[in-house]
Chains A and B, each alone.
Chain A
Amino acid sequence: MTDLFAVDVQRILWRQMTWMMAAFGVLIVAAAGVILFVHTGNHHLFATRSDLRAAVAAAVVPLAFAGYMLGASALGADYTSRALTTLLTWEPRRRLVLASRSCASALVTAGLTVVVLLALIVALLPSAILHGTGGAPNGAWYLSMAAMTLRCVLFTAAVSVVGVSAAAIGRSTTAAVIGIVLYLVLIENTAVQALPSFARWLLVTDAISWIGQNSHTSAGAPNGHTVITGGLLLVGGMAALWAFATRALARRDVT
């Protein structure tokens, strides 16, 4: 298993897409840092505590998308190129193959998230130091920020596993992308409009609860869930999808 995992991590790290995502992410946050610095200097002040927190929380959306793409293509591209077929002639235990690929994808996505979030914080520091208001951050704030960053990392890693699972079910990256778009449009949007109470059990609102909450209470959460409840629901959804993907891959013909 460790050899397979090491190979899967290596395979993802050797892909151009991984490095392009990382470079693009760092570039975007660097540009955002410069724009924000100029903007706060001329027109507004930078509310250090709340703005930094909001920036990290907002960054998780593109990072989750990147993680999903990374996970989906980590398996989907191999399905399409038939590299998966070759791999299965070396390691025929398909559950192990999917587990390893999911873990590798989650690890690389977590690393990518850490790099981009650190770059984001560094990019925002000049604005915070020179144009910041609202008092200097204290220990509790740092602790809260660290916890939120950790939750962001875990969330994007989990989304990456969802991407791997969707590609295993759909047998390609394209199918995985179509799958998530359909989910967001049909379930998160249309179905929720028809049945608003259903929203509290869905991915987006639970992701907001998991990442955006200040404390372990449900106060202010869009769905009334605490950080822990939101996290558990996300993990549960991810695990169910992964189990389905594992079953599909194990039973299916791979040609």
Chain B
Amino acid sequence: MPSPSQNAVVEMVGLTKWYGRGAGGRLALDGLDLVVPSGGVFGVLGRNGAGKTTALRCLLGLVRPTSGVCRVLGADSSSDLHRVINRIGALIETPGLTPSLTGRRNLALLARLDRIGADGVERALRAAGLAERADDPVATYSLGMRQRLGIAAALLRDPEVVVLDEPANGLDPAGIAEIRRLLVSLAAEGRTVLVSSHLLDEAEKMCDSVAVMEAGRCVAVGPIGDLLASAGTGGVIVGVAEVGAARLVLVAAGLNVTIVDGRLRVSCPPADAARVTELLAAERLFVNELRYETPSLEDFFFGLTTPAGAGALP
């Protein structure tokens, strides 16, 4: 169980959630423990059904946990969330807005709750790239535009903590990159951005730390660099003219070698690259390319969450 730290923005301790009862019930969260530190972009990763959205819904008081504790900014999400809600901006899945009203009116209604003026609405619309279509009914918006409006609503309060569930849903590649830059810039201003995603490439580009969820539990958490370093899934890529012969030499030396795109991929730490070149040179097989392949978040994720990898998880 993680110990609550003083700068933790979010703390989930033993969070369990059952949907339904009896034999038809489904366990969405299975004693989830998670601490999100203050500042930076924190990603919650996982497959569909891993429990990401349920965890965020518990955090925002939308879903009542079956057991466990969930705190945000020190307030219990189930009982006194209202004390801190004006410091949180959130978007959960597809944004829920009134379709018959324009984007601007939808935001204006929310803004009035916190006595935010028209300039605040305008600023949020511009930040989300929606200023031009702000006076059209939401019913006429594409999924991507609704998503942008949801993000605008989340930013309306100028929040300390931004909670976004799959913010890239429905966005085109340019839109996804734009949202990534926006989230990184929000974190650079000192805010905490908690974002759930299944886009691993995007998460790797924008997150400082991630938590990987599987079957309602957190199976790995930490700064991305630390997680990838601990994964040990990297290897040395070796270019050589006689690939087949070179492979035999290295396998005979006890190394794990595969042929990928006409090159050798040797599973070993970067420091072993010298030994690889030495072995090959001794057989007059000369290396024409040598580089270390950094493991990606995707490699790490699938290593943890594929059925074979899941069995080895703590």
Contacts and interface: CB of A to CB of B under 8 A. Distances in A.
Interface of A: 3-4, 6-7, 10-11, 14-16, 77-78, 81-93, 251-255
Given A6-B112, A10-B112, A81 B98 contact: yes
A133 to B, nearest CB: 48
B115 A83 contact: no
B109 A253 contact: no
B98 A90 contact: no
A87 B99 CA distance: 14
A83 B139 CA distance: 13
Q: B94, B109, B114, B153: which has the most chain A beta carbons within 10 Å?
A: B109
B62 A85 contact: yes
Contact of A91 (B62, B85, B95, B98): B85
Contacts of A82: 94-97
Given A85-B96, A86-B97, A86-B110, A92 B115 contact: no
Contact of B62 (A7, A251, A254): A254
B61 A88 contact: yes
Nearest to B75: A92
B95 A86 contact: yes
Contact of A16 (B63, B88, B100, B106): B100
B97 A91 contact: no
Interface of B: 19, 57, 60-64, 81-82, 85, 88, 90, 92, 94-101, 105-106, 109-110, 112-115, 150, 153
Given A7-B109, A10-B112, A14-B105, A92 B61 contact: yes
Contacts of B101: 14
A77 B101 CA distance: 12
B98 A255 contact: no
A89 B62 contact: yes
Contacts of A15: 100
A177 B96 CA distance: 23
B61 A7 contact: no
Given A10-B112, A89-B62, 18 more contacts: A3-B115, A4-B113, A7-B112, A81-B97, A82-B94, A82-B95, A82-B96, A82-B97, A83-B98, A85-B62, A86-B153, A87-B110, A89-B60, A90-B85, A90-B114, A92-B60, A253-B63, A255-B57
Contacts of B150: 86
A61 B250 CA distance: 90
A255 B62 contact: yes
Contacts of B114: 3, 90
Contacts of B110: 86-87, 90
Contacts of A90: 85, 110, 113-114
Contacts of B63: 253-255
Contacts of A88: 60-62
The 9 closest A-B pairs by CB, nearest first: A82-B96, A86-B96, A85-B96, A89-B90, A92-B81, A253-B63, A92-B61, A83-B96, A83-B98
Residue in B19, B97, B98 with the greatest tally of chain A CB atoms within 10 Å: B98
B90 A81 contact: no
A10 B82 CA distance: 22
Contacts of B81: 92
A11 B98 contact: yes
Contacts of A91: 82, 85, 113
16 contacts: A3-B115, A6-B112, A10-B109, A11-B109, A78-B98, A81-B96, A82-B94, A86-B96, A88-B61, A89-B62, A89-B85, A90-B110, A91-B82, A92-B61, A92-B85, A253-B62
Contacts of A87: 110
Contacts of B60: 88-89, 92
Contacts of A77: 98
A82 to B, nearest CB: 3
Contacts of B109: 7, 10-11
B107 to A, nearest CB: 11
Contacts of B64: 251-253
A42 to B, nearest CB: 45
A255 B58 CA distance: 10
A89 B90 CA distance: 7
A202 B88 CA distance: 46
A84 B85 contact: no
A87 B57 CA distance: 13
A45 to B, nearest CB: 47
B87 to A, nearest CB: 12
A254 B62 CA distance: 5
A84 B92 CA distance: 12
B194 to A, nearest CB: 13
A7 B112 CA distance: 7
Contacts of A3: 112-115
A93 B62 contact: no
A114 B105 CA distance: 27
A81 B99 contact: yes
A14 B277 CA distance: 74
